[in-house]
Amino acid sequence: MLVGNWKMFKTIHETRHFAEVLGRNVGKLSADIDFAVCPPYTALQVAKVVLPAQILTGAQNMHQAEDGAYTGEISASMLKELGVTYVVLGHSERRQMFAETDGGVRDKVEAAQTAGFVPIVCVGENDSEREAGQTMAVVGRQTRIALEKAAKDGDKLVVAYEPVWAIGTGKTPSPADAQAVIQGIRKVVAEVLGEDAASQVRILYGGSVKPGNIAQFVSQPDIDGALVGGASLDPESFVAMAQSM
Ligand code: PEP
């Protein structure tokens, strides 16, 4: 699975350009890989219309309430009308800059699955947690709480391991270290949702993935794909990553 998280980048016009380039390269996209991009809300509708059908769309966040007085927020039913398949939840930028909590992510996971979306739940330790040897404790806690109310069906869930210190920094863990953490996440999924769900759930690696390093991550036995920020903005890089998987 290859997912592009566009963060707060790309207007409608720029999304059309991305889709045009991808459209010219669609023959290079393997039918065995699930592709998605997660544009800002304002470009979700056009993305769904102009992207090749093989590229699904995801939102970068969602509010857990059905509706209400939540200025600036977006609900599941609003996303539903846009043909969205995935919703990224608990991205570290949201946890750090917008005070998202483990419990809030749990409620969003439940609401997203109830609405029929596949949540992409992001977990990851920051630099000081890593240096203190707390990686698995932090990632395990985030995963356990996020899945407390989740469906016991691994097809309805994606988890992304994104070490905070690797996001947008050019630094990455070694593929073996990413594999070890992701194997640990899979064990936590088994504890919370059962062995069947744990064997089905796709767990992605994210953090400074680019065309030159994606293969070494996705070749690890427990790593089912990549969640990519910066390098997913350039359509040529997106295609290059798809071809390197
Ligand atoms: C991300 O935003 O989820 C991400 C992994 O960013 P980058 O690929 O730029 O490190």
Give 107 Cα–ligand 1 centroid separation in angstroms.
Answer: 24
Q: Is 230 annotated as a binding residue?
A: yes
Span 136-162, mean pLDDT? 97
Span 146-169, mean pLDDT? 97
Q: How far is CA 188 from CA 48, 121, 132, 180, in A?
A: 34, 14, 21, 13
**Whole-number Å distance between alpha carbons of 233 and 245:** 18
Q: Where are the beta strands (DSSP E) in the chain?
A: 2-5, 35-38, 55-59, 86-89, 118-123, 158-161, 202-206, 226-228
**Nearest in space to 189 (alpha carbons), one of 228, 225, 226, 139:** 139
Give 85 Cα–ligand 1 centroid separation in angstroms.
Answer: 20
Average pLDDT, the chain: 97
Question: What was the pLDDT predicted at 21?
Answer: 96
Structural domain including 40 reads 2-244
Question: What was the pLDDT predicted at 128?
Answer: 97
Percent with pLDDT over 90 in the chain: 100
Instruction: Examine the residue annotation and report whether 100 is marked as an active-site residue of this protein.
Output: no
**What confidence tier does 83 reach under pLDDT thresholds 50, 70, 90?**
very high
Residue owning the nearest CA to atom 6 of ligand 1: 229
Span 127-148, mean pLDDT? 98
For 19-71, what is each residue's pLDDT tens digit?
999 999 999 999 999 999 999 999 999 999 999 999 999 999 999 999 999 99
Span 3-27, mean pLDDT? 97
Q: Is 7 annotated as a binding residue?
A: yes
Reduced to 3 states, what is the DSSP secondary structure of residue 201?
Answer: coil
Instruction: Examine the residue annotation and report whether 17 is marked as an active-site residue of this protein.
Output: no
Q: Give the CA radius of gyration of the chain.
A: 17
Q: Is 208 annotated as a binding residue?
A: yes
Atom of ligand 1 nearest to the CA of 210: 8
**Whole-number Å distance between alpha carbons of 150 and 114:** 9
Q: How far is CA 154 from CA 44, 52, 190, in A?
A: 25, 26, 10
Q: Measured on CA atoms in the order 189, 182, 167, 41, is the torsion positive or negative?
A: negative
Question: What was the pLDDT predicted at 193?
Answer: 98
For 168-210, what is each residue's pLDDT tens digit?
999 999 999 999 999 999 999 999 999 999 999 999 999 999 9
**Whole-number Å distance between alpha carbons of 187 and 195:** 8
- Placement of tokens 């709480």 in the chain: 145
Q: How far is CA 241 from CA 76, 168, 238, in A?
A: 30, 17, 5
Strand partners, 38: 5
Q: Which two tokens stand for residue 131?
A: 């240096």
Question: What was the pLDDT predicted at 12?
Answer: 98
Question: What was the pLDDT predicted at 8?
Answer: 98
**What confidence tier does 156 reach under pLDDT thresholds 50, 70, 90?**
very high
Q: What is the CATH number of the domain that holds 61?
A: 3.20.20.70
Structural domains counted in the chain: 1
Strand partners, 55: 35
